[in-house]
Structure formats: structure tokens, C-alpha cells
Structure 1
Amino acid sequence: MTRASLDKQPQDVATMFDGVAERYDLTNDVLSLGQSRLWRKEVARAVDARPAQKVLDLAAGTATSSLPFSRTGAYVVPCDFSLGMLRVGKGRHPWMPFTAGDATRLPFKDDTFDAVTISFGLRNVQDTDAALRDLYRVTKPGGRVVICEFSHPTWAPLRTVYTEYLMRALPPVARSVSSNPDAYVYLAESIRAWPDQPALAARLQQAGWSKVGWRDLTGGIVAMHRGTKPGA
């Protein structure tokens, strides 16, 4: 198995990510032209983790995305369904409580976390709506969700250039740096098939989240959605 298909069978997606785990962070930096670091900083600001708060970082991979939350003094749980990613992450950050889990059936009790976040992972879940509902379930009343995901550029010329990059430039670049370049063909296809910013906001509202909004990053190549679980 070298790549997943757009029906996103969980075992296929997990196996694909197992195959890219060792060089995943490097590949992301290269393919995003360094923008992935900027996006992580914006997510950290939006999550606004505080000392002693509990934060769930879903689709955390090797926990590169979890480190900014941990540095604030928050208790961060990096969770992923790729065991290969978790093994690499645990080797790098042995003190972190890595947890294997499916986004649609999270292994946590109701009302556990002050904040939940997922970056560039919701697109790979087979049932997006079930994942949004389960994130809602494990969040405390008054808690927050932050979702960072590839989206749709809002400026037509940028959208054209970006689409060309995804389908023409990304695969050869991936071949030069990734341990499993075929996986990045799936990446490009899944980005093109993903809902736009208003459509994802509507799905968050349908899952129960309130005060839903989004902010475009890098011209809408990435969008950061936010929401709050009602309650004190």
C-alpha cells in the first residue's frame, strides 16, 4: 500500500502515513515552502493554551504541532491513528503522552479537554461529521476547537497557480524529499476535493459548535476555523 484513495478507508490512510513518518516534517517544510511553520504559530495563538489546561492535539503525527502547547505549561495529548507516526514521535519526545486513536471514536471521556485542535488531518478522516461531533463530545463546556486545514484560495489568479502547483509541481518535489512520494499524489487530490471555508463552517455548526468563524492564511491556501462549545 503506497497511498490512500479518496474513499479514505482508515487502515489505508494509516498505512500510508506509517510510510512517510520518518521524513514527514521535513517533507512538509519543503512542500509548503516554509509556510508550515508560520501556520503552526497561528494555530498556537488561536488555541491560546494556558498552564494546567488540557489540550488534545488530534492527528498530531510526530507531535511537532503539539510542542508549542506543551511549552505554555498545558497538558497536551498528541493523538493519531498512525502507529508509525506515534513511534517516531515517541522516539523524539519520550515525555509526551502519545495516544493512538480514531478521530471518529476518540478514547477519552466526555468533557475532558479545555481545547481541541487538528491541523491538516481532518481531511484524511473518513467521516468528517462524526469527527467534529466526537471532538465536541470530549471538549469541556466553554471549551474551544481550532481546525487548520488546506482550503480554497480566495483570489482567482492564486487559485489557478496553486492548482497547477498541486497537480504538476508537488509530485516531482515530493519524489526528491519524501520516503513515500506516491502518498503526496493523494495529498493533492484530497486538497482539491475538500470543502471550501463556508462549507466547513456549516459542518462545525451542525456538529453543535457555536461562535464559528474562520481566518484565511496564505491567501486561503489554508484556513483556520474556530468554534466554542456552549456552556459555562
Structure 2
Amino acid sequence: MTRADLGKDPHAVSAMFDQVAARYDLTNNVLSVGNAPLWRIATTRAVAPKAGERILDVAAGTGTSSAALAASGAEIVAADFSPGMIAVGRERQARVPNLAFVEADATKLPFGDAEFDAVTISFGLRNVNDTDAALAEFLRVVKPGGRLVVCEFSTPPNTIIRSGYHLWQGVAMPALTKLVSSNDTAYDYLNESINAWPDQQHLARRIAAAGWTDVKWRNLTGGIVALHRAFKPAAPPAPAA
């Protein structure tokens, strides 16, 4: 079985997700103790999709988050670099009319400048081998004034919650993944990538450094997950004739 490491080679990460695609949503629900749907609801509300908008969902996987966004009537493009994930997503979301899947690398998006009203990524940014390049690409493909929403694992600020979460990662998660995942060794990488990921404040700084403005975040489930929201600077007014 393939598993990635913190070098995050795109081919290794893609192959790993190909192998977990069939049972990915089930595994997420089990490992999150049922919180995954709640995190998805919070993310959808933060994106605030509207009918007529065009929204890019990066690292969309099987399209569960994309389908939630599409319920608004917005046109959703679900992008992922795992062919296996896309294949499962196309099958599961076949009845969603305003949802299209595209194989794409987050650091080299196959879209023109200012194509989307919003970009969102859930639990995928930490898997990209060049976070800053991805954030810059998100900025490029969004219209001036458009928005970014990142939902990602983070660092609980409360010591007790943080200690309990680390215990969960070290003891409960490995046991559960052996029961429900099609590639339990892939979830060793999951824990490694979470523990190596920057905390809320550091991620906010990186988002701002990529050119996004008004960067804010809020914690979900005690900070185990954090939602970051930001905006692309509005276009300057046209010069007077």
C-alpha cells in the first residue's frame, strides 16, 4: 500500500488518495466521531455560495463538500489531483446538475485569471507540497473582491483539549483506521501532516503573505479544526476620462 510522507511528493500523495477513495468518506466520519458533517456545514456557511456564482472547491475528493455548495444553485468546479477520488466523486454526485469534476494540481490550476467568485479547500491544503504557491494560485483564479475559505486541522489552544487530541491521534485513530480504512498506513501520514501543520495564527500570516486581505479565522471543535476566511483585494477604480 502507498503512503505519503512529509515531503508530499504529488505522485505519492495522489496514489495514496487513489487507494483510500472508496472508503474515504466513511473513514472520515468515523475518525472525526461524527464531526465531519458539522465541519462541512460550517465551511459551506463561511463560503456563503449564491445562485449564479462560480466556485472552485480544491482538493474536493469525492465531492461531498462540493455537493453541499452546489445545493445553493452556484456552479461548482470540484478539483482534485487524485483520479481515484474523482472517479468515486463523479459516480456518487452524478445527480448534482451544477457540479463538474476536474483533475488539477492546486499549485498549477488549469483555469484563467479571475474566473471564480470564491475558492475553498477543506482538509487539503496541508497535503500540497507548496502551500504558498497554492495560495497564490487561488488568488489568481478569483475575481477581485472574491473570497477564500480554508478548512483545515489546526492546533487546539486549550492545553487539556490539545493533550486529549494527541492521545486520540496516538491510540484511538490507528486502531480505528485498521477497522474502516482501505489503507490504514495512509493515516499514519495523516497524523504526521496534522502535527507538522502551522497553527491558526501562522497560517493566517501565510495567507496574508500570498496577497489575501482581511484574513480571519475561527476555531471548530475546540481548535482541532480551524476555518480561515480572506478576500482578494478589490480592483482599483478606473481612472477618470
Task: Give the alignment's TM-score, normalised by structure 1.
Answer: 0.99
Matched residue SS, 2:211 = coil
The residue number in structure 2 matching 1:160 is 163
1:2 has 2:5 as partner:
no
Higher Cα Rg: structure 1 or 2?
2
Deviations 1:174-228 (A, max 9, x none): 0100111110110011100000000000000000000001000000000000100
Question: How many angstroms apart in 1 are the aligned matches of 2:25 and 2:65?
Answer: 10
The residue number in structure 2 matching 1:70 is 70
- 1:91 CA drift (Å): 1.1
1:208 has 2:211 as partner:
yes
- 1:167 CA drift (Å): 1.8
Equivalent AA in structure 2 for residue 207 of structure 1? A
Equivalent AA in structure 1 for residue 193 of structure 2? S
- Residue among 180, 196, 199 paired with 2:199: 196
Matching of residues 71-86 of structure 1 within 5 Å: 71-86=71-86
Number of aligned residue pairs: give it: 232
Matching of residues 1-232 of structure 1 within 5 Å: 1-94=1-94, 95=97, 96-232=99-235
- 1:69 CA drift (Å): 1.2
Equivalent AA in structure 2 for residue 187 of structure 1? L
Matched residue SS, 1:98 = strand
State the identity as a percent. 56
- 1:2 CA drift (Å): 2.0
- 1:9 CA drift (Å): 0.2
Question: How many angstroms apart in 1 are the aligned matches of 2:148 and 2:132?
Answer: 14
Deviations 1:72-95 (A, max 9, x none): 000000000000000001111235
- 1:140 CA drift (Å): 0.3
- 1:153 CA drift (Å): 0.4
Matched residue SS, 1:145 = strand
Deviations 1:120-167 (A, max 9, x none): 000000000000000000000000000000000010011011011112
The residue number in structure 1 matching 2:239 is none
Task: Give the alignment's TM-score, normalised by structure 2.
Answer: 0.95
5+ residue gaps, structure 1? none
CA RMSD, 1 decimal: 0.8
Matched residue SS, 2:106 = coil
Matched residue SS, 1:78 = strand
